[in-house]
Amino acid sequence: MAPHASTSVQPSRPVGAPPQAWRVEVFRRAQIDDPAGASAVAALREVGVQGVRSIRRGHGYLLSPELSPAALQGIVQRLLVDPVLEEARVTPPGDFPRRSEPSAKGANKLHRILVMRRRGVMDPTAVTIERAIARSGLGEEREVRALTFQAFEIEGELDRAHLERAAQDVLANDVVDEVYIDDDALHFEFPTAGATRVIQHVPLREANDTELERISREGQLSLSLDEMHAIQAHYRAAGREPTIAEIETLAQTWSEHCKHKTFTGIIDYDGERIDNLLKRTIKAATVELNKPWCVSVFHDNAGVIEFDAGWNVCFKVETHNHPSAIDPYGGAGTGVGGVIRDILGVGLGAKPIANTDAFFVGPADLPLEKLPKGCMHPRRILRGVVAGVRDYGNRMGIPTVNGGVWFHPRYVGNPLVYAGCVGLMPADCTDKHVAPGDAIVVVGGRTGRDGIHGATFSSLELHDESQVVSSSAVQIGDPITEKRVCDALLRARDARLYRAVTDCGAGGLSSAVGEMGADCGAEVDLELVPLKYPGLSPAEIWISEAQERMVLAVPPEKLDALLAVFRAEDCEATAIGRFNATGKLELRYRGERVGLLDMSFLHDGDPRPLRVAKRPAIDATDPGCPPCADANAATLALLRAPNIASKEWIVRQYDHEVQGMGVLKPLCGERDDGPGDAAVLQPLAHSKRGIAIGCGANPDYGLRDPYAMATAVIDEALRNVVAVGGDPARTAILDNFSWGNCKRPEQLGTLVEAARGCYAAAIAYETPFISGKDSLNNEFRTGDETISIPPTLYVSALAIVPDVSRSVSMELKRAGNALYLVGMTHAEFGGSQYFSLAGLEGGRAPRPDLALAPRTLRALHSALKDGLARACHDLSEGGLAVAAAEMAFAGELGAALDLENAPLGDFDAARVDRDTALLFSESCTRFLVEVAPEHAADFERALKGLDFARIGVVRTERRLSIARGAKSLVSLDLDALRAAHQGAFQG
């Protein structure tokens, strides 16, 4: 609890004891405007805290009391204050700060809200300050400790309840922050713990089932009774009790997060036995396709494919859902940090060259009173995760180039955050081998109590007390430490100073060392692991998921050289043990053995769960499609729909230009506001070969028909990369499943169907899966109600672009060019944006024709490769009308379309209005393509035998006109289209 919570005080009087530390508060001078303060005012008003006149935001620092006044002055003037804009208020240790006066005399009260990190939560700025002082000698040879805080000085008529709401809903996050309202006490304490208990055993052998379940629950082990039985049997046979370190290691290694037990277990699907769903569907497709350009799939930290002579590219996408629900900023940031380390840890390490991100959140306009207890508002979650991705990716110098945001009421309590990273690596760095005798070296950040039980936490469902109970699973990222790791690691790689590398992700050292040593054996002296603060038990050191750490296997003769490289980059690297040939994992602490596990039991001893799945009933209701009364209004409303509307406010906050590889950016067109289909990068300056990165997802389809959804979102990801010039014959895809609780048979049934859809589509398009991840416990419990997320499959695609100078962007280019509609339109409104707008339910979910779609993609690619298209845009949410509108306003050119000859599937004309279907149906594998008159014949030849039609022309008149014959359907000017597209939530 924050210290203020139960205290009632006079607002202007300090209540607690002041910290025994120098306090420095740095504010902008009074006459200088304060953008951070102004943003805070707006944010407070948005959550209903009225009466705020102004806010000034100051940076606060606490520094060791031993500093002399002269040394302190030096630090303030040379390091902490901008002499042009700011002034510092310095308070000696043990004193209260001088209060600043309200600007208008007697008009308003001045309140102060101070926000600082809870003890033990990462404070990267404090670390930077301590380091800068130590290096420069400003601290007069003393070890100077620092903590930082933020000070908000608020003028206005506000009561205590307002201030508490301001702190809770806007200025601080109770999970990671302490809040002081009109209270200057602060803390200047650093986490330590009492005596370390070295070795502890868990009495397991005699435990009955109730006790076993209690041990699992109270230890937050997330082990099932079957798994506890397996462990019990193992230790009965061994004739001793397990140590805490051992049982924690088993819990981490066997967690759903690490082991994918549902996907790899046994499923009884209405009597049909599925032995390893992953192997039978996703991996089966890759194995059957057997593409020679797939270099490394599924077994390393990321999938690797061939790129260009001597170079490979790799791609990984991670989910980071549960941490992001309770701390959006920290959760999303560490999600990005984690997937970057996956790329650094694939083979001998790849250079990260692009990030992707996707968010699935509740409606941005959710009324406050409808927000379930224990949840953050979707707006706050979205802003938080965007800021988290921004601050981590931008600081790492990795362009964030592709992604998406989807809104749905069922994500309110359980938002989803996906973070992806693409890497570039020399082809001869793809393999790694650990040899017995290699030193185990941990590099990067120090180990603390943060993030303990992240792997098992992510395997639990969220509930309305998750924010309070699970805060130790939440962490703040430190991107600059990771940047140091990246810089040092790639230099050490190029000098071949290590034999293998992996990242410390879920499970921390236990997973990293356990995996690397799985085929040989390993011994670790846990007291050698560098700690953020003393007092961690050996088991805590072993399973801590502190961020920004990686583990290397270093041949002994290269150890000194390796440590020197890391030292030169100011990045900590420490040998903590060695790999051996014992087949065992031995953990010691100060010479005493605290764990000894057989690698075979650790990795293969878990019982395979048997789960029951029930075939989902697909709702066959189909209301048909009545005629749209006002297609103009519908088109504008669709452009404004949250899932379609511009995400420019997000894109602009990401550095999508860093590294200078960008060929097609996320936003296209005359005013840089057209939503591009996929990003194109040119990774090697000497080669015109490129990569395209795209994605697809659709939870609304998932709710209608999970099998169809899987095929549709794969089609969407492929459409996106093909539309910009990617080669469908050289495209790899990634699967990320986020599902509800798969212990429920009907949930698991939808997962089986979606996985089977994945298999069918991958085989049909000949696009292998190279990597994937699942998160299968996404539900939120509030009171008696449990809300599951929609089945959410996020598919990413990575395509080779043969020649980046032939890339095609989505916006219209020149009046007089022809417009072609490629692909057949069916009456597919199930889960469509139009049905949602029209308030209609049911309908057939879109799905590609798997016989025809691959041919269409190949033919279109060949036309694009030959330079026959000037613009190309895929048709997705909102259908043809939305795609045409986006192309038009982005190109600042009009278009006149006539749908009379548009390829149309068979449907019941009595129940489905043909014009409405042509405008708004979301059938797959369709594109709108702009072709110059001189290329029209060649373009038509390239698509011969496929469904396509010339449906219109680009015009200078700034208007989109869509008709069928003499009947006008849509006529809207570009300004209206653009305004609608920009008209939804903009941050």
Residue 652 Cβ vs other proteins, minimum distance, rounded to whole Å: 5
The answer to whether 257 is a known catalytic residue is yes
Of the two residues 661 and 969, which places its CB atom closer to other proteins in the complex? Answer: 661
Of the two residues 487 and 622, which places its CB atom closer to other proteins in the complex? Answer: 487
Of the two residues 483 and 744, which places its CB atom closer to other proteins in the complex? Answer: 483
Instruction: Give me the numbers of helices (H) and strands (E) for the chain, helices first please.
Output: 32, 40
**3-state DSSP helix/strand/coil percent for the chain, to nearest 5?**
35, 25, 40
Residue 341 Cβ vs other proteins, minimum distance, rounded to whole Å: 16
Residue 131 Cβ vs other proteins, minimum distance, rounded to whole Å: 8
Backbone angles phi, psi at 439, to 5 degrees: -75, 145
Residue 542 Cβ vs other proteins, minimum distance, rounded to whole Å: 28
Of the two residues 298 and 307, which places its CB atom closer to other proteins in the complex? Answer: 307
Q: Other CB atoms closer than 10 Å to residue 648's CB: what's the count?
A: 18
| Structure tokens that stand for 213 in this block | 């379940």
| Structure tokens that stand for 41 in this block | 């005012």
Of the two residues 804 and 960, which places its CB atom closer to other proteins in the complex? Answer: 804
Of the two residues 477 and 538, which places its CB atom closer to other proteins in the complex? Answer: 477
Residue where the block lists tokens 């979650």:
381
Q: How far apart are CA 718 and CA 799, in angstroms?
A: 9
The amino acid that residue 51 corresponds to is G
Long-range CB contacts (within 8 A, 24+) of 570-573 = 570/484, 571/443, 571/444, 571/481, 571/484, 571/485, 571/487, 571/488, 572/443, 572/444, 572/445, 572/446, 572/530, 573/441, 573/442, 573/443, 573/488
H-helix segments, 495-630: 508-516, 538-543, 559-568, 599-604
Q: How far apart are CA 378 and CA 367, in angstroms?
A: 10
Residue 786 Cβ vs other proteins, minimum distance, rounded to whole Å: 37
Of the two residues 261 and 870, which places its CB atom closer to other proteins in the complex? Answer: 870
Are the beta carbons of 845 and 715 closer than 8 angstroms? no
Write the CB contacts of 704 (distance below 8 Å, at least 6 apart in sequence).
618, 619, 830, 831, 843, 844, 845
Across the strands, what pairs with 183?
A: none
Of the two residues 103 and 805, which places its CB atom closer to other proteins in the complex? Answer: 805
Q: How far apart are CA 726 and CA 862, in angstroms?
A: 10
Backbone angles phi, psi at 774, to 5 degrees: -135, 150
Residue 144 Cβ vs other proteins, minimum distance, rounded to whole Å: 14
Catalytic, out of 320, 656, 826, 935: 320
The answer to whether 111 is a known catalytic residue is no
Q: How far apart are CA 353 and CA 658, in angstroms?
A: 9
Q: Cα dihedral angle (382, 387, 388, 390), rounded to 10 degrees?
A: 120
Residue 668 Cβ vs other proteins, minimum distance, rounded to whole Å: 7
Of the two residues 667 and 943, which places its CB atom closer to other proteins in the complex? Answer: 667
Q: How far apart are CA 929 and CA 948, in angstroms?
A: 10
Coil, helix or strand for 873?
strand
Q: How far apart are CA 296 and CA 217, in angstroms?
A: 38
Q: Other CB atoms closer than 10 Å to residue 936's CB: what's the count?
A: 15
Residue 446 Cβ vs other proteins, minimum distance, rounded to whole Å: 16
Residue 33 Cβ vs other proteins, minimum distance, rounded to whole Å: 8
Q: How far apart are CA 608 and CA 267, in angstroms?
A: 10
Q: How far apart are CA 556 and CA 560, in angstroms?
A: 8
| Structure tokens that stand for 42 in this block | 């707006």
Alpha carbon 152 to its chain centroid, in Å, reads: 30
By C-alpha distance, which of 713, 854, 899 is closest to 793? 713
Of the two residues 34 and 922, which places its CB atom closer to other proteins in the complex? Answer: 34
Residue 60 Cβ vs other proteins, minimum distance, rounded to whole Å: 12
Q: How far apart are CA 184 and CA 174, in angstroms?
A: 18
Q: How far apart are CA 365 and CA 369, in angstroms?
A: 11
Query: What is the SS3 assignment for 605-670?
Result: CCCCCEEEECCCCCCCCCCCECCCCCHHHHHHHHHHCCCCCCCHHHHCCCCCCCCCCEEECCEECC
Of the two residues 375 and 664, which places its CB atom closer to other proteins in the complex? Answer: 664
Binding region for other proteins (CB under 8 A): 32-33, 35-36, 38-39, 59, 77-80, 82-85, 124-125, 128-129, 132, 135-136, 390, 394-397, 478-480, 483-484, 487, 568-570, 651-660, 662-665, 667-670, 672, 682, 685, 804-805, 807-809, 811, 813, 891
What is the torsional sign of CA 651, 652, 654, 660?
Answer: positive
Residue where the block lists tokens 């798997």:
850
H-helix segments, 219-327: 225-238, 244-253, 256-259, 261-264, 277-280, 282-289, 321-326
Residue 153 Cβ vs other proteins, minimum distance, rounded to whole Å: 17
Residue 656 Cβ vs other proteins, minimum distance, rounded to whole Å: 6
Residue 463 Cβ vs other proteins, minimum distance, rounded to whole Å: 33
Coil, helix or strand for 326?
helix
Of the two residues 668 and 917, which places its CB atom closer to other proteins in the complex? Answer: 668
Catalytic, out of 4, 257, 322, 935: 257
Of the two residues 725 and 749, which places its CB atom closer to other proteins in the complex? Answer: 725
Backbone angles phi, psi at 86, to 5 degrees: -120, 165
Residues acting as catalytic residues: 257, 320
